[in-house]
Amino acid sequence: MDPRPFVYYFPILTTIVTLVFAAQIYRRYVQRGRMGNHLLWWTIGVLTYGMGTFTESYITILGWNPVIFKVWYIAGALLGGAPLAQGTVWLLLKPQTARRLTFALLTAVVISAIFIIVSPVNTPVDLHLPSGRALGWQWARYFSPFINTYAVVFLIGGAILSAVRYRRVATAGQGEVAELAQDRFFGNVLIAIGAILPAIGGASSRAGHTQVLYILELVGIILIWLGYWLNVRKRPLDEQPPGTTD
């Protein structure tokens, strides 16, 4: 009998959810064409999220593997919500600003990932739980807080800003306009909450409670999906998002 708690298998379900979610976003990106840069980044972000949970699943089921560990660290601990945040950058900011921030983010990610790839690794105490403590160059872990802060500012901050804007429209408007704004207000609230939960789970994992991370990753991506659905279910494909000039 497998002695591990059932919660350790949550990343498998989370990975499946991300694949379905990413396919849905990508279909909309194809439909919108050049107006969908933010959707392409969200597709990448959800797939990256899924790569993190897939590697968690691999280590949980099959045990320690140094290559899979490094993929997990880059996809999960390093990137985190950064690609999703970059989607928000393309959604809310001018294209020129978005391009500059994209270049800055990619530069930081590539440099950080190189250090992670070449770092030696130590076999962890628990061969079925991924942990950043297995990284030989512990100083290389200091890159992730900067990239994760970027994600917090633009993903969570952008969702909160959009929620505030739509709340004002919902309060001042009437009829269908108010209903649409109300949907998008709640949608952005859900996205903000869904983005916060994995960060809380990451802190719990570092404190030795990895099972909390597995639960919050699943709940977080489901909330983000619900928030996305509320935002787009009544939005025409040619509608310009508020605050953009693309």
Tens-place pLDDT, residues 24-70:
999 999 988 767 789 999 999 999 999 999 999 898 888 889 999 99
List, in sequence order, the alpha helices (H) in the chain.
10-32, 37-62, 66-72, 82-92, 95-118, 143-151, 157-172, 175-206, 210-232
Give me the pLDDT at residue 242, please: 47
CATH number of 6-232: 1.20.1070
3-state secondary structure of 80: coil
Decide: pTM greater than 0.85.
yes
CA distance 200 to 63: 25
Give me the pLDDT at residue 204, please: 78
Amino acid making up residue 236: P
Domain locations in the chain?
6-232
Tokens of 46: 């959800």
Cβ atoms < 10 Å from Cβ of 23: 12
Give me the pLDDT at residue 240, please: 52
Query: Are residues 120 and 66 in contact, defined by beta-carbon separation less than 8 angstroms?
Result: no
> Mean pLDDT per segment of 10 residues, for the chain of length 246 residues?
73 95 94 82 95 91 90 89 93 93 94 94 81 86 88 93 91 80 93 92 76 91 95 67 40
Residue with tokens 């977080």: 220
Give me the pLDDT at residue 77, please: 82
- The secondary structure of residue 239, as a DSSP letter, is P
Give me the pLDDT at residue 145, please: 86
